[in-house]
């Protein structure tokens, strides 16, 4: 706890590998409260040569996903590092599926709007079957690496 009061809590709309609780658990050491949501006026693309998706604005389209609630500054840092420089963290408005309530939240948008490697539509269920196992292994290594570098910084 900092002297300035409780840490800010964030909500983050996720639409790819972070929809899998196992991936979130490896990164954050917990699974936060979630709610199903839709991001209107965006499209979820597949990316050539990669197993995770990208989103970009697209009128009259929508991206299904979920919102992670109660994300701390530390956890947001981990998510930022995980998403890397290919993505930009932006504020967006999503619709919560259960209540149709609108919510301002953060999400990660593909930085290169004109990327020729984006194509089609990325499907979560297909990813779970084909790529989740290998992705979990990579995520575990990433999580161990980021914890090691953060421990060095805090000593």
Residue 5 in this model has a pLDDT that exceeds 70: no
Domain count, the chain: 1
CB 105 within 8 A of CB 94: yes
Per-residue pLDDT reduced to its tens digit, 19-28: 999 999 999 9
Residue 12 in this model has a pLDDT that exceeds 60: yes
CB 107 within 8 A of CB 89: yes
The catalytic residue among 59, 75, 81, 83 is: 83
Per-residue pLDDT reduced to its tens digit, 62-107: 999 999 999 999 999 999 999 989 999 999 999 999 998 999 999 9
Question: Is residue 2 a part of any domain in this protein?
Answer: no
Question: Is residue 107 a part of any domain in this protein?
Answer: yes
CB 74 within 8 A of CB 9: no
pLDDT of residue 3: 45
Determine how β-strand 10-14 pairs with β-strand 54-71: antiparallel
Q: Which tokens is 12 given?
A: 């983050």
Active site residue 59: no
Q: Which tokens is 110 given?
A: 């593909």
Q: Which helix (H) or strand (E) holds 63?
A: strand 54-71
* Residue range of the domain that includes 122: 10-154
| CA dist., res. 10 & res. 5, Å (int) | 15
Question: Is residue 5 a part of any domain in this protein?
Answer: no
Determine how β-strand 118-119 pairs with β-strand 54-71: unpaired
91: CATH? 3.10.490.10
Q: How big is the chain by its Cα radius of gyration, in Å?
A: 16
Work out the percent of the chain whose per-residue pLDDT is above 90. Answer: 86
Question: Is residue 110 a part of any domain in this protein?
Answer: yes
Question: Is residue 4 a part of any domain in this protein?
Answer: no
Cα 71 to Cα 18, 27, 30, 64, 113, distances in angstroms = 13, 12, 10, 20, 27
**DSSP state, 75?**
H
Query: What is the pTM (predicted TM-score) of this model?
Result: 0.91
Strand residue runs (E) in 85-144: 87-96, 102-110, 118-119
Q: What average pLDDT score do residues 131-149 get? A: 94
Question: Is residue 127 a part of any domain in this protein?
Answer: yes
């Amino acid at each position: 706890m900092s002297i300035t009061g409780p840490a800010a809590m964030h909500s983050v709309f996720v639409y790819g590998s972070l929809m899998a609780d196992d991936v979130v658990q490896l990164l954050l050491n917990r699974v936060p409260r979630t709610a199903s949501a839709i991001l209107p006026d965006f499209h979820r693309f597949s990316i050539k040569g990669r197993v995770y998706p990208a989103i970009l604005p697209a009128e009259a389209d929508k991206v299904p996903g979920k919102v992670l609630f109660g994300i701390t500054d530390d956890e947001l840092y981990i998510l930022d590092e995980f998403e890397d420089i290919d993505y930009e963290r932006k504020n967006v408005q999503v619709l919560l599926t259960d209540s149709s309530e609108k919510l301002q939240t953060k999400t990660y948008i593909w930085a290169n709007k004109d990327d020729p490697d984006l194509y089609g539509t990325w499907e979560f269920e297909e990813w779970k079957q084909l790529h989740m196992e290998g992705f979990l292994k990579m995520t575990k290594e990433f999580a161990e690496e980021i914890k090691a570098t953060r421990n060095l910084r805090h000593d």
